[in-house]
Every structure is written in structure tokens, then in C-alpha cells.
Amino acid sequence: MSGRIAVLMPGQGSQFVGMGWDLAEAYPEVRRLYERADEILGVPMSEICWEGPEERLRRTENAQPAILTHSYAVWSVLPAEVRTSVVVAAGHSLGEFSAYLAADSLDFEDALRVVRRRGELMADSGDERPGGMAAIMGLDPAAVEELCASVEEGTVVPANYNAPGQIVISGDAEAVARVQDLAAEAGSRVIPLNVSGAFHSPLMEVAREGLQEALESVEIRDPSFPVVANVSAEAVTDSATARENLVAQLTSPVRWVDGVGAMLAHEPDRWLEVGPGRVLAGLLRRIDRTQKGEAVGDPTAVEALQAKKSKMSGES
């Protein structure tokens, strides 16, 4: 049923009010996981996820632990045969922490505390040095890089190489606005993003020390399967490199297109997006039309995997 599985873990922006409620209703272990999250963080994370309001859930310090908890909740109820068939994983930005959690590199409590702290640091960085982000559609990477380099006042850089023709820029608000104008003049469709800071840019430098301290305070083990890093687009199999990359990720671009290429080298038969939404499944299709991702984020999707497992077991 499973074959060789690649797992994709979503990042910030995939959150929605009500996320995880249906899983908690269907699986007692998921409800207990959310109760643990409330206790660990000392905030009503389950209430924030299930009831919102949206503005509260969208706050960086809440969205990041909310997404990690949802992804791990789904992962924890997947059939064992699926989990043991994973040959490679990757997560988009925050999702990289979820990937290491699934790979047993991190304990849930440690991962939750670290991503909560990461969210706080990133939000504080946005307050200290306000910035912005925007998606540039229809231009190739070299063209976007050239536009960013042409802006002399302020900092603006490519932050997410999400898919062919979809690159997110990040930096000082005025510099981002200037690149948006230039991209529009070049025929690009430009989408300003509703974010609290200039993520994956040099403006996040002030958050690095705090995140490094948070990561040094927890145990990180070698992952049980390779995790492709956002920073290098290379498969990571040791804890030291994982720790280093998770810090560097703050100020470095997410090389998602190259990362999917590295995952393809592991020859997966199947791609599962584990967590809220289906953004990464959509990006996968844009990167390689021969591949198809399955979004697994609710009881119906989990039960479909279980049903396939049972069917295959009956046939064997």
C-alpha cells in the first residue's frame, strides 16, 4: 500500500480557525496531544486553534506552534506502515521543525517550546525592524534576483523559491515596494503578503541568537529518515547539521524547488502533505507535473490511508 513515501510538512500561512478539531473528536490521543500543548506552553493553544479568532491564530507566535501541533497530530495517527515507509521528508520554513519532529530528532515538548520561541523572536524582529514580503509571479529566479540587486536603498532579497514562476521577496518595506513596482513593469503579477516581518531575510538577524539559545537548550537526535533542509536543499542525516541549518534558516531563503529535486533523488512512489492545507501539494505539481501530492490533514484522509492498508492486507 505505501511503497516509498516522501512527506511534506506545511509552513506558516497554512493555519485556519478550526484546525485539528475534527482530529481531536475522532482520536482521543490527538485530544490528549492538544491538552499537552496547552500545558507545555501555558496558553490555550487548543482554543486558539479551534475557536480563533483568526487574527489571534495568525500571530506568528501562535501560528507556528499551532501548525506544528496539527502536523504532528496527523503524523501520530497515520498507519504505522505509512510512517515506517517514509524515505525522505521536508518542511517549508516552520515545517522543517515538524519534519524533524516526525523523524524523532526532537521530542514534542521541546519542538513546541522552540517554535513558540521562534515565533516570538520573529515577531519581535518585525517590530524592531519592520519589513514586508511579496510574491512575484511569472519571472524566473535570475530576473527576480537582478531586480532585488538593483534596489540601492534598503534591503530586499528572494526569500522563498517556491515553484517555477513563484518567488517570494522579503526585506525593508520601501525596498520590497520598489521591487514590486519593477516586477509589475516587467509584466509580473505581484501579491503583497500579510506577514508580521521580513522573514528569511537579513532583517531577521536579530532573532538568530535567541533561536540558537533555544535550540542549544534541547536535545536533537539524528533523524530516522533524511530531512531535506531549506537552506542547502540537501538531505540531512545528522543532528549537528540539523541544528545548524535550523538557525541559518531564519536569514536564508527557502530553496523549495531545489529541495523537491533532492527529494526526487530518493525515488518516492508517493507524496503526503501532512498537516493543514494543501499548499505544498500544489507547489509539487508546479515543480514536477509527473508528481502528485496527497493532502492528509483530517480524519477522512487518515481513514482513507487506513482503508487502503486494510484492503492491501486482505489481498495479500
For residue range 187-226, what is the model confidence (pLDDT) as tens digits?
Answer: 999 999 988 899 999 999 999 999 999 999 999 999 999 9
* Domain annotation for the chain: domains and CATH numbers: 5-126+202-315 (3.40.366.10), 133-192 (3.30.70.250)
Cis peptide before 53 (omega within 30 of 0): yes
Model pLDDT for residues 165-194, shown as the tens digit of each residue: 999 999 999 999 999 999 999 999 999 998
Per the model's pLDDT, the better-predicted residue between 314 and 149 turns out to be 149
How far apart are the C-alpha atoms of 291 and 269, rounded to whole Å? 9
Report residue 306's pLDDT band, with 50, 70 and 90 as the boundaries.
confident
The pLDDT, as a whole number, for residue 2 is 60
Instruction: Name the 3-class secondary structure at 287.
Output: helix
Q: Would the pLDDT of 311 be above 60?
A: no
Our measurement of the distance from residue 133's CA atom to the centroid of its chain's CA atoms, rounded to an integer in Å, reads: 16
Residue 314 has pLDDT above 60, yes or no: no
Tens-digit pLDDT profile for residues 17-53: 999 999 999 999 999 999 999 999 999 999 999 999 9
pLDDT in tens, 65-88: 999 999 999 999 999 999 999 999
| Run of H or E residues at 289 | none
SS3 state at 254: strand
Question: Which residues are identified as catalytic?
Answer: 93, 200
Mean pLDDT of 236-242: 98
Residue 310 — very low, low, confident or very high, per pLDDT cuts 50/70/90? low
- Among residues 4, 14, 18, the alpha carbon closest in space to that of 281 is found at 14
- Residue 288 makes CB contacts below 8 A (sequence gap 6+) with 260, 264
- Statement: residue 16 has pLDDT above 70: yes
Average model confidence (pLDDT) across the chain: 95
> Can you tell me the distance from the alpha carbon of 266 to that of 261, in angstroms, rounded to the nearest whole number?
9
Q: How far apart are CA 293 and CA 121, in angstroms?
A: 32
Residue 248 burial class via C-beta count within 10 angstroms: exposed 0-12, middle 13-18, buried 19 and up: middle
One-character DSSP codes across 203-247: GGHHHHHHHHHHHHTS--PPPSS-EE-TTT-SEE-SHHHHHHHHH
- Percentage of the chain modeled with pLDDT above 70: 97
**120: part of which helix (H) or strand (E)?**
helix 108-128
For the chain, what percent of residues have pLDDT higher than 90?
93
pLDDT at 307 (0 to 100): 83
Confidence band (pLDDT; 50, 70, 90) for 309?
low
